[in-house]
Amino acid sequence: MAHMQPHRDLSAADLDALRRSDAPTQLIDVREPWEFNLACIDGAELMPLGDMYEWVETLNREQPYVVMCHHGSRSAMACAFLRARGFKSVSNLEGGIDAWSTAIDPRVPRY
């Protein structure tokens, strides 16, 4: 039986470097719409955690994804869910959008 690797945690700096590279990565934001409207990272796609059973089937299991939320807990759950369904490359933004705002882009509001 193959061992399934857990998702990787990426720091805000790791994500910033990844976004500046040519690596194809889709950023999934699993927060609620009201949170996304308060603060978001450019290019992130809103896919609320509560709707995961609906949107999971629309994704390519071979494509790399970075999942984010407010502080990293909900996105860690989403990463585990995706890995359990055969997604090959799933990373969690450690510290969520709060870490992004603090370390990378202070123009993103904190809440």
Task: Read off the tokens for 96.
Answer: 């969520």
Catalytic residue status for 40: no
Rounded Cα distance, 99 and 86, in Å: 28
Q: How far apart are CA 37 and CA 78, in angstroms?
A: 20
Residue with tokens 């807990």: 73
Q: Report d(CA 35, CA 37) in Å as an integer.
A: 5
Q: Which of 10, 30, 40, 69 is catalytic?
A: 69
CA nearest 92: which of 4, 30, 19, 2?
30
Positions marked active-site: 69
